[in-house]
Amino acid sequence: MEKDLSNYRRSYEKSALTESVISNNPMQLFQTWFYEVENSESSEEHNAMTVSTIGLDGFPKNRVVLLKKYTEEGFIFYTNYNSEKGKAIAENSNVCISFFWPVMERQIIIKGKAEKINQNLSDGYFESRPDGSKLGAIVSNQSMVIPSREFLENKLKNLEEELSGKEIIRPDYWGGYIVKPIVMEFWQGRPNRLHDRIRYSLEENFEWRIERLAP
């Protein structure tokens, strides 16, 4: 099987990223870019991000999850703590997250440390979810091998009957992580592959060093 993709080309010409328009704080620039992609013509999930971890087998692994909140401290997402990514984070909290917004010809690559958020914050988010999503989080032993799709659906049906009319409580193996950035790189597509790349690196005094990278 072979397919030549060498002629897949486009010219990136929608915007520019110059030192005159950026903030001293990368989270402020992230917020600006996020607002701009939210207000663009794209109807995609703008909060979809790739989370990369180093697995227990020594291999990196990427998967797409949904960003549920960002603050001055970092980026929050939710998952099963016993999942493959949860076990990887427990062993090595160094992670990388990235956003790709083709409608704006932009991407952001973020290196940081992942840590569990406070239980009350996970409780609050879990309570806000639809009942179906709550039950799904409980019945799925995420990343574990299961015998069939029917096994999962039967498990859900039994749990629905068991908890009918009752409050659905967050299981202690499910909750949020916050990724606290130490490096944030902003990439803006430009013509002739001379893309703009601006990197923020957190220094010991908690100030951000700003550098331009060659494309």
Active site residues: 193
Tokens standing for 4? Answer: 């030549």
Question: What is the rounded CA–CA span in Å between residue 115 and residue 124?
Answer: 18
User: Are the beta carbons of 99 and 77 closer than 8 angstroms?
Assistant: no
Cα distance from N-terminal residue to C-terminal residue, the chain: 32
Which residue type occupies 37? V
**Residue 202 phi, psi dihedral angles, 5° rounding:** -80, 125
* Residue 126 CB-half CA count within 13 A: 24
* Residue 100 CB-half CA count within 13 A: 5
The pairs formed by 36-44 with CB atoms below 8 angstroms and a separation of 24 or more are 36/104, 37/101, 37/103, 37/104, 37/106, 40/101, 40/103, 40/104, 41/103, 42/101, 42/102, 42/103, 44/103
Q: How many CB atoms neighbour CB 99 within 10 A?
A: 22
